Structure 1
Amino acid sequence: MICPEEHLAADGTTVTGSSGQREVSVALPPSPIEAVEKPVGREGRAGFIAVAAQREVKKRTLDALASTTRN
């Protein structure tokens, strides 16, 4: 799973954040960024997006497990 604190440096190497977790930078269209910034501000956007992504991954994992169990 990608940690919210992972990013690639300009030379393509992985850089680890100060908390020991890796950071990843991703390009997103302006409209979802603006929508996130309205409730949480610029300071909260990375954390908000990280938590939302983790929730989506967990949801999809549970959905896949549930559909496998039914078959």
Structure 2
Amino acid sequence: MTAVVDLWGPLTVLVLILLAAVRWGRSQERARGLAGRWAEAWSRESAVLDAADRAADEDPRPFELRGRS
């Protein structure tokens, strides 16, 4: 019986370490997801800005006059 009681401390520490590791892993997944969404939005914005730059290079008229004949 004392052997079981002697194991409570190390087992408790082990369980706490495992719980902390799981929580840390989930926070890392969440951070990776946020970073991925941020990078995706950045690339979309960059693509839009690049397209606008190309359109401005092709049509030298002021922005307000573009698309009018």
Q: Which has the higher strand share?
A: 1
Could you say whether these structures have the same fold, taking a TM-score greater than 0.5 normalized by the shorter chain as the test? no
TM-score range normalised by the length of the shorter chain: 0.3 to 0.5
Higher relative contact order (CA 8 A, sep 6+): 1
Q: Which has the higher helix share?
A: 2
- Give the TM-score normalised by structure 2: 0.44
Answer with 1 or 2: which has the greater Rg: 2
